[in-house]
Structure formats: structure tokens, C-alpha cells
Structure 1
Amino acid sequence: MSGDSPSRILLVAKERTLRTLLERLLVGRGFDVVDGGSGVDAVALLGSAAPIDLVICERTGPGLDEVAMFEEIRRHPDHGRVPILALPPADPECTVRALEAGVSDCLAKPFHPTEFLARVERLARPDAA
């Protein structure tokens, strides 16, 4: 990220209501949000869009599950190091699978918006602290 340009976040959330809520929170904090669509769409966007500073993934929808998407991102030579914040259900097994697939952090649902934004800030703007 350079200068005053906002951090770009690729948001993947299957549920429209959650996606809208998260986007509002992020835009309100000054982030540029890119709709990641499904997991397949998100991986394609990483390769073709302007640089992404953080991927946030709740659910991917059809075509590529969350763990497969995380593994695909990590294997890619150009965007394999982009931070990923997973938003799994409150199930320790889901959190463990996401962490094993290489995500940077997990925040189980339900979560408080303040905690969500604190984690996003830490991952998307590591030099700001």
C-alpha cells in the first residue's frame, strides 16, 4: 500500500446480509472493499485485480470450499502471502481446519464489530500500529 490510498480488502461472504454489514463497517473505516463473489471468483480476482491487502472469508458458496480457497491462495507465487482473516462458525474443528490451511487469523461467528475491526486493522495495516 502506498501513501494515502486505502487498503484494499477482498470480501467473500455467502450471506448477503452479513456481506452488506461487513462492507459498511469496512468502508466506514476507510477501506476499499472488493466483492469476492464465490471462492473461485475470489482466487481469480486476486490474480487480476489491483493488489489486495487482506482477504476476509466467511463462506465461499458453490464451486470451491473455504479450506480449498485458502490453500489455493497460499500456493500462488504472487499473492500467497496476502493475509487472510477467516470467519468460521463457532466450531473449533472449522477454526483448526482454516488455520491448518494457512489463514493468518480466525474470528468465530458470532463476533463483535469492534473486535472484527481491530483484527482487520492489524492485518491490513500492520505498519499503522
Structure 2
Amino acid sequence: MSGDTPSRILLVAKETTLRGLLERLLVARGFVVVDGGSGRDTVALLGSAGPIALVICERTGPGLDEVALFEEIRRHPEHGRVPILALPPADPECTVHALEAGVSDCLAKPFHPAEFVARVERLAGPAAA
């Protein structure tokens, strides 16, 4: 990744071990990670988050499911066109629901870290802007 200002990624991951791993992978590639919290926290955060290059969503907490979160992001006036990378379980039905809700790409768990980084860079890297 190159450029003067690192791309900011909003990361929503309920499972703390996975969140830590994803954050380390992203930071190592030069991204700035913004903790998206739970689904409700994420929606509230969008108004004050500043520029976001990509939203990555693994799982939300109680109160707002992932599909509802994707729909909320798509309706947001400032961030409605930001790419979303969903990390659903390896279940085709979950992937279909995420794609129908407007995500840009899905990467089913479990996945290889190199594939995760490649998809993130495709969606949020300088060429994606």
C-alpha cells in the first residue's frame, strides 16, 4: 500500500481473538483500524468516524444483525457507498443474504490470511479510490 494518508478501515468483529488477528494483519499492511464495536455502536459511529475506505464485518453483537447493519450502512448519507467486506460463516445462505443486503464482497470463514489481505487491498487500497 502506498500514499500519504493511510486508508481507514472500520472493523466490526464480535469475537475478540479474531478481531485482534484481523487488526494486526491490517496494521501490518499500513491501514488504520477503527473499532466498529457492535452493530448498534457501528451505526452510531458512522456519523463521527471521518473518512472510511472500507467496512469489514465479521459478526455484530446483540441488537442488530449483520444484514440490518449492511442495510443501515447503505442508507447512510456519508458512507453509503463505502465498500463492505463481510466475513460470514461458511454457509451459502449467509453469503447470499449479505450480498442481497449490498455488501461488496464476502469471504467465508475460515479463510487464509493472505486471501483476506488481498481482498482488503482490492477494496480499500489506493487503486480502489
Structure 1 unaligned segments of length 5 or more: list them.
none
- For the pair 1:20 / 2:27, whether they are aligned, the reply is no
CA shift, 1:55, in A, is 0.2
What does residue 69 of structure 2 align with?
Answer: 69
* TM alignment of 1:26-105, pairs within 5 A: 26-105=26-105
Residues in 1 aligned to 2:12 and 2:82: alpha-carbon distance in whole angstroms: 14
* Count of residue correspondences: 127
Structure 1: how far apart are the matches of 2:52 and 2:46?
7
Farther off after superposition, 119-128 or 38-47 = 119-128
SS of aligned partner of 2:47:
helix
The TM-score with structure 1 as length reference comes to 0.94
By how many angstroms is 1:126 displaced? 5.0
Give a deviation string over 1:65-111, Cα, whole Å, max 9, x none. 00000000101221100000000000000000000000000000000
Q: Secondary structure at the match of 1:48?
A: coil
Output the aligned Cα RMSD: 1.4
TM-score, structure 2 normalization: 0.94
What is the identity, as a one-letter code, of the residue corresponding to 2:111?
F
Structure 2 residue identity aligned to 1:79: H
Which runs of 5 or more residues in structure 2 are unaligned? none
Q: Could you tell me the percent identity over the aligned residues?
A: 87
